[in-house]
Amino acid sequence: MAHLTAKPRAEFVRSMFARIARYYDRANHWMTFGQDAKWRREVLDLAGLPSGGRLLDVGTGTGDLALGAIQRDKSCFAVGVDFTLEMMQQGSRRHLGERVGWLDADALCLPFAAKSFDAVVSGYLMRNVIDIKWGLAEQYRVLKGGGRMVCLDTTPPLDDAWHLPSRIYIRHIIPIVGKLLARDADAYVYLAESTERFVNAEELADRMLKAGFKDVQFHRFLGGTMAIHWGIK
């Protein structure tokens, strides 16, 4: 996987998520020790979507963040975009009605006019995009002035007491769990590799600032292997 670039890498990621779509939510829940729902609630808390507002969930997958938004506010409208149709098909079975829109689209080419959304969120997206700068620029473009962008993702473990156990968990335990629950160990080997290759939390915050976001902040958790970043346009 490490040698793939641009379109071949994007197709690798798309086909991988297509394979595990049926098992993704269950595996994610187990691998995060059941904390994934709590983290998504925090993402939505930080997004600060106004009543009746429009939220964009980039790399929506099965639509957890979009679903969470409309459950909080029945007057809001959420749009989930993803380039893996199979993942969105799993989410669309939840019968969320007309308050959630689903679009097959690439995070690097969002099919929306500038300043279309009151908040932009993502979960486990940024380490999968082939161009972080471009991906951030697109999210900034479609966000309204004063709106917030919030992203949840894995991050390389800190070089502290958690470093060794975190590496062992990421490199060895996660692929085993992926094989048992999602029937695809290779997909979760990719998770480990993409986490360790991804920029650290400080670097991602710096790139958000360079993309134009203000008041950028983040915090780590789960032994330094996860982080939530947020910023304002």
**Is the pLDDT at 144 greater than 90, yes or no?**
yes
Residue 222 belongs to some domain of the structure: yes
pLDDT in tens, 160-218: 656 667 677 777 777 777 777 767 777 778 877 888 889 999 999 999 999 999 999 99
Q: Which two tokens stand for residue 211?
A: 């993309």
* DSSP string of 124-145, one letter each residue: S-GGGSS-HHHHHHHHHHHEEE
The region, left, alpha or beta by phi > 0 then psi within -120 to 50, assigned to residue 52 is: left
Residue 168 belongs to some domain of the structure: no
Residue 84 belongs to some domain of the structure: yes
pTM for the structure as a whole: 0.91
Q: Which of 67-71, 113-117, 146-150, 194-198 has the lowest mean pLDDT?
A: 194-198
Tell me, what's the pLDDT at 150? Answer: 99
- For residue 18, the tally of other CB atoms under 10 A from its CB is 15
Tell me, what's the pLDDT at 174? Answer: 77
Residue 75 belongs to some domain of the structure: yes
What CA–CA distance (Å, rounded) separates 79 from 66? 7
What CA–CA distance (Å, rounded) separates 65 from 69? 6
Tell me, what's the pLDDT at 166? Answer: 66
- Give the residue numbers spanning the domain of 225: 6-22+39-156+199-232
Tell me, what's the pLDDT at 29? Answer: 82
Residue 28 belongs to some domain of the structure: no
Tell me, what's the pLDDT at 216? Answer: 99
For residue 5, what pLDDT band results from cuts at 50, 70 and 90?
A: very low
What CA–CA distance (Å, rounded) separates 214 from 217? 9
Residue 135 belongs to some domain of the structure: yes
Residue 33 belongs to some domain of the structure: no
Residue type, 50: P
CATH number of the domain within which 204 lies: 3.40.50.150
Number of domains, the chain: 1
pLDDT in tens, 67-112: 999 999 989 999 999 999 999 999 888 766 678 899 999 999 999 9
For residue 4, what pLDDT band results from cuts at 50, 70 and 90?
A: very low
Residue 27 belongs to some domain of the structure: no
62 neighbors 88 (Cβ within 8 angstroms): yes
Let me know how long the chain is: 233
* DSSP string of 10-51, one letter each residue: HHHHHHHHHHHGGGHHHHHHHHTTT-HHHHHHHHHHHHTPPT
